[in-house]
Structure 1
């Protein structure tokens, strides 16, 4: 799936009460128009456009709205977005901007002069750099020299809470003060969020206006209050109670009080889910998949002991998004939320709450004078470089934290997040630290080089439910004692040999992701696959790379009867169907197969006939696949398929040229089609081929000459994205758009051209 990484993309759920879910945010239209003029007009010299105002006014929302506007996207050659925040690392920021500006995938080496690399990459180009949430002038002075001058119309857009910083950044344009909403705009936004576009009933109008009055024009307050009253009984008395609760508050504390009110109205199981997110760094884009697995490991979600644990976790996130306490910060092309984040004010509230509440105690940094009064307290240890440095001192050891001396230690639980900041190995190897966290449930050491002794050192961590390691050598027996393990994530540069019979012991395993040079399933007992009847019914996702398929594998996948998401990088040509009995995997809805060209040239017309997919797939990605007529028919038989991504596909049919002809094929439910580096000269399709297609994305389409003309007859087609494509293909898309407008009178199709 393709991901649009932002700091607050809209949620697609209709019940959302986020200020980030509307194309036109109430009260922001005029601000956005002014900002776009500042970016595209005026001086040709580099200019700095700064937006300032208090928290909760929507500075980042406005910047994001402008940044992703199609006219801005097409105006600039280079765009990059970077969150600066209070605590920042200059090299890290510059590296992030450089990667966005150049689309570089390679790692930046320690001796690379990132500042010089960035400056050279921007010379003679019209660029737009967004620096979100700058707190002091030193941050700007650290970065300014990397943004070259010139007469190309380049712009730097910055957001800040501090007027002095905004004025210091001023070049040609005056700082832009983001004002409060007017009372009319406040009421319009509140009404829109609570009633989802409908009018407020007359019996609630007076109470609703009172609520709007006490929101004091703060968009963040409006949407949080909307999230509260939308869930309460629709009675004037209930709404007036909310209004009265706001009326006596000082403006400076209003946002915090509103968040407290939203927090108080949360169901009990949602509260730890929200507070847990406060442990992530400021402006951190939290991968949703990662977050939900951590919630499950900590048993925050309902149905923790049932097969619906993943659905319960997604529902928890949906509830927090709907109440505007969590923001969407990245979304897949099919509108599935990929990343989320916390508004700075919400995160500040979470950190305060973590230190105030006795049931959850934040112990970073360690305070030797801190006394904890309840054995039911929960200790959250956020592991980072500063803590590691402190623990290296003889008088500052982890075992001096008072809670570790309590006799009833079974009530203690630990949360460790070493992944979220760089763990600098020059300070210490983490093993000595983590082995003391005997009740840790989630441990992410993917970015830490562990010594060979890691397996022995971690034998005492029996409560682990989430494990992510990067190791040179791994044997499944080393963690087979973790009978509660739910998530296993491994990375290795060596070939891994895993014994399947050991895997059968880990019956609570739900998610497996193994990234290695090569993966081979071993079994000393040749009859194990035939004799054992063990089913890993809890397995939901299984991802692995460079897997060697052999005759045991069809029986291996058969053990995962409830598998939902499977991703394989197949290294060799198999001699059998991957799914020998497709109907076994009726729960499988997402499948990714990456095939090797060098290995598969000799298999044309052979393995494709084996690719009979499980019937209920909704998402399919095929890389390096020969698109024979048989393969295309196999895909078209998937009646529920909503998204299809074809990468490095080679059409093979009756024609000598590489023509992808689907004229006589129908993809009945396909909404999202992505074609990446297709080895295709021509593409033919009929009016019936893609009847419900909404989004077409073509990336690196140098060989494509045109989009089939029949696409103008698709009534729901709303977006064509072209990434680094040739001019003829772009012209054909624009011609489609023109013909649709002439035939229907509607500007329903958007064509976006982007450069990689």
Structure 2
């Protein structure tokens, strides 16, 4: 496979992709590796589907081989013979509309017609294409305006014509979308990477046996990026064929991989980022290589570092999410998995992008990890900020008896009073017998974000952070904790605390002094409401900035129910309840109109002898995501959930269904969940499930994990939106029932729209 990612000006002038070496091509051979499945999918989109003109878009990060895939499909004989007219042009960031249209016109007419300077090329092209089945490839589109410039020249009509577009920007594909969904290009597998490397290095010959193991190491270290494979192949092809030399390349791959060619590919995407997105991207490079960064943490860290717009307003969370979307849209950040709310759970930088970012941080004679000044952040100075990623080697050096900040190799300065540090340790790699983190913490007076969640701090931790008045983000693991110990941190926005001592009672009284708190997550503590001036101070002691509050071991009594009133703008609430409820969770549900996500874990066995507890579970009406654990699914409880007209995702786990005559049946025949798209049943004790055609009218995904259920409600065959049913560790009879529903849908609609996944982990 030859990776071609154009990033300069100019167009292609031949009837197929140019054979000239582009900035990222290594060889001119025709060997194409990988993309077999991808090519098959794209070809089906081209020759099947609607008779109307359709746009087939391929997107992904630079270096994934979008152009290579498009060329492979474009040159396929079956595709070449299927279309009456074919044309290919590279659009790129800078383009000339007339020049592009002239190139397309020449290819469409085999250059038979001469074009004069005053000719209306757009009209001439439309006339040539009308009534024909054409395929136009627009390679490397950067913005919607380019499509609007060119797309109007491609006539509509029922001739099965297609326009194939490649872009690194996902947002562009959403504007191009017609009948076909955009196609996201994935990374190569390790086997595909090795196959590509072998073909590039040995030019069709087999790799000698003594080099296979070293070659596999090189391929593996390319992390599935075709661009990196091709560049490395060009390097080792010129080396002596010695395994030891190849192993050296594998061990230091990132240094080799970013030659001038790939630097320019990444640079082109970075250059066109909005200014406020650049420090967000560079910041991610401070995390360890290949580290999957939890998105929830990352957004809060960006806020703590004041990288986002509207940092002093209630829209800070939305601004940080927009920053991540902007980077994802530019295909510079990789994402991994989605949670039950359909939000991205983890993100990371490919090694090539990360290496580029680290090099970018060293430009203009800056010191190694300097984050550039962001004009949107509210700082007292416009100077760049020096930020150090605190890693294991740093710890070992700081523990040395002669340790001084200016002795650290990466630093070369004399004054340290103005430094701001970022502390992000690698998870589970600290060796506490050789290093006490508190020795370093006391020297970081200007630290804004301190993430020490995976280190058990000694009991003296509270004294050590007394001087860290600039903290915005604090995540710690301690045995003892009281809010009064950190109540002086008036800039704190995010607080995460967990403990190995589950018997601690946490008094919430001093919480009200921390007015800037936005996100609180407290694990393994029993929260106790204590407020002597409760009656007099109720209206004044409000945390209006609080967006997220999660805690465990909380009691549902009248006092704690009033705690949520202190958070009038709360959006996410997560509670692990330790007892049977005796008061409503939300005495006046409509007080919390902004809550969109609620997670509630209950002690289910305590419900068995209770009567009327359901009346305590009337939820705020705007909830979109609801997780309920250990809950009895009675008819009244189902009705309480169904009253949530905006509910999109529902997860029920470790609960117990309770139908008529105390049977293990969840009967929602007369219940409708009007907006529910995602439903998960995790180890819910139910044997039967009854539902009507109206129960889940817009459901898209159903996941069932464990449990006793043996059969799906037949009405699921009548849900037009259903796309996926996933069964994990379920009874075989349930799988048979689901496959029967799938066959019924295919027979009734003629379409294979329902995917079924079955997994057995036991």
Into which bin does the TM-score normalised by the smaller protein fall? 0.5 to 0.7
1:380 equivalent to 2:387? Answer yes
* Superposition TM-score, scaled by structure 2 size: 0.67
The residue that corresponds to 1:609 in the other structure is 615
Question: What's the offset of the Cα at 1:391?
Answer: 2.1
From 551, 557, 567, give the equivalent of 2:574.
567
CA distance in 2, matches of 1:749, 1:418: 43
* 1:319–1:57 CA distance, 2 compared to 1 (3 A): closer
* 1:204–1:405 CA distance, 2 compared to 1 (3 A): same
CA distance in 2, matches of 1:31, 1:208: 29
Q: Please state whether the residue corresponding to 1:495 is helix, strand or coil.
A: coil
Question: What's the offset of the Cα at 1:645?
Answer: 0.6
Matches within 5 A, 1:566-585: 566-585=573-592
The residue that corresponds to 1:624 in the other structure is 630
The residue that corresponds to 2:300 in the other structure is 293
Question: What's the offset of the Cα at 1:182?
Answer: 4.7
Q: Please state whether the residue corresponding to 2:661 is helix, strand or coil.
A: coil
* 1:31–1:676 CA distance, 2 compared to 1 (3 A): closer
Matches within 5 A, 1:133-212: 182=72, 184=74, 204-205=100-101
CA distance in 1, matches of 2:658, 2:759: 29
Q: Please state whether the residue corresponding to 2:449 is helix, strand or coil.
A: strand
The residue that corresponds to 1:546 in the other structure is 553
The residue that corresponds to 1:514 in the other structure is 522
1:749 equivalent to 2:761? Answer no
Higher RCO (CA < 8 A, seq sep 6+):
1
- For structure 2, the residue ranges without an aligned partner over 5 or more in a row are 1-31, 41-60, 77-85, 107-136, 151-164, 169-230, 235-257, 372-380
Deviations 1:367-390 (A, max 9, x none): xxxxxxx99342221112211112
* 1:266–1:400 CA distance, 2 compared to 1 (3 A): same
Q: Please state whether the residue corresponding to 2:495 is helix, strand or coil.
A: strand
CA distance in 1, matches of 2:439, 2:138: 44
Question: What's the offset of the Cα at 1:180?
Answer: 10
1:479 equivalent to 2:496? Answer no
Q: Please state whether the residue corresponding to 1:751 is helix, strand or coil.
A: strand
Question: What's the offset of the Cα at 1:331?
Answer: 1.7
From 652, 674, 683, give the equivalent of 2:680.
674
* 1:421–1:349 CA distance, 2 compared to 1 (3 A): farther
Deviations 1:711-750 (A, max 9, x none): 0000010100000111100000000000000111000101
CA distance in 2, matches of 1:206, 1:351: 42
Matches within 5 A, 1:28-427: 29-30=35-36, 58=64, 182=72, 184=74, 204-205=100-101, 226=140, 228-230=142-144, 252-357=259-364, 361-362=368-369, 376-398=383-405, 400=407, 405-406=414-415, 409-410=417-418, 412-420=419-427, 422-427=429-434
1:709 equivalent to 2:714? Answer yes
Question: What's the offset of the Cα at 1:363?
Answer: 8.2
* 1:182–1:750 CA distance, 2 compared to 1 (3 A): closer
Contact 1:673 1:697 in 2 (8 A): yes
Contact 1:622 1:646 in 2 (8 A): yes
Q: Please state whether the residue corresponding to 1:257 is helix, strand or coil.
A: helix
Contact 1:592 1:621 in 2 (8 A): yes
1:727 equivalent to 2:732? Answer yes
Question: What's the offset of the Cα at 1:506?
Answer: 0.6
1:697 equivalent to 2:706? Answer no
* 1:459–1:403 CA distance, 2 compared to 1 (3 A): farther
CA distance in 1, matches of 2:592, 2:75: 51
The residue that corresponds to 2:197 in the other structure is none
* 1:557–1:727 CA distance, 2 compared to 1 (3 A): same
* 1:718–1:642 CA distance, 2 compared to 1 (3 A): same
From 651, 657, 664, give the equivalent of 1:658.
664
CA distance in 2, matches of 1:333, 1:599: 27
Question: What's the offset of the Cα at 1:423?
Answer: 1.7
- For structure 1, the residue ranges without an aligned partner over 5 or more in a row are 1-25, 35-54, 62-177, 195-199, 211-222, 243-248, 365-373
Q: Please state whether the residue corresponding to 2:676 is helix, strand or coil.
A: coil
* 1:705–1:275 CA distance, 2 compared to 1 (3 A): same
Q: Find the structure with the greater CA-based Rg.
A: 2
1:737 equivalent to 2:750? Answer no
- The number of residues matched between the two structures is 554
Instruction: Tell me the C-alpha RMSD between the 2 structures.
Output: 3.7
Contact 1:385 1:421 in 2 (8 A): no
CA distance in 1, matches of 2:146, 2:383: 32
Q: Please state whether the residue corresponding to 2:551 is helix, strand or coil.
A: strand
Question: What's the offset of the Cα at 1:502?
Answer: 1.2
Contact 1:301 1:312 in 2 (8 A): yes
Contact 2:91 2:139 in 1 (8 A): no
* 1:188–1:444 CA distance, 2 compared to 1 (3 A): farther
Contact 2:494 2:520 in 1 (8 A): yes
* 1:506–1:441 CA distance, 2 compared to 1 (3 A): same
* 1:680–1:638 CA distance, 2 compared to 1 (3 A): same
Question: What's the offset of the Cα at 1:545?
Answer: 1.1
CA distance in 2, matches of 1:470, 1:233: 52
CA distance in 2, matches of 1:532, 1:235: 58
* 1:189–1:507 CA distance, 2 compared to 1 (3 A): farther
Deviations 1:431-473 (A, max 9, x none): 1112111110000111112111111111111100000011111
CA distance in 2, matches of 1:313, 1:593: 26
* 1:687–1:234 CA distance, 2 compared to 1 (3 A): closer
CA distance in 2, matches of 1:307, 1:640: 22
From 648, 656, 664, give the equivalent of 1:642.
648
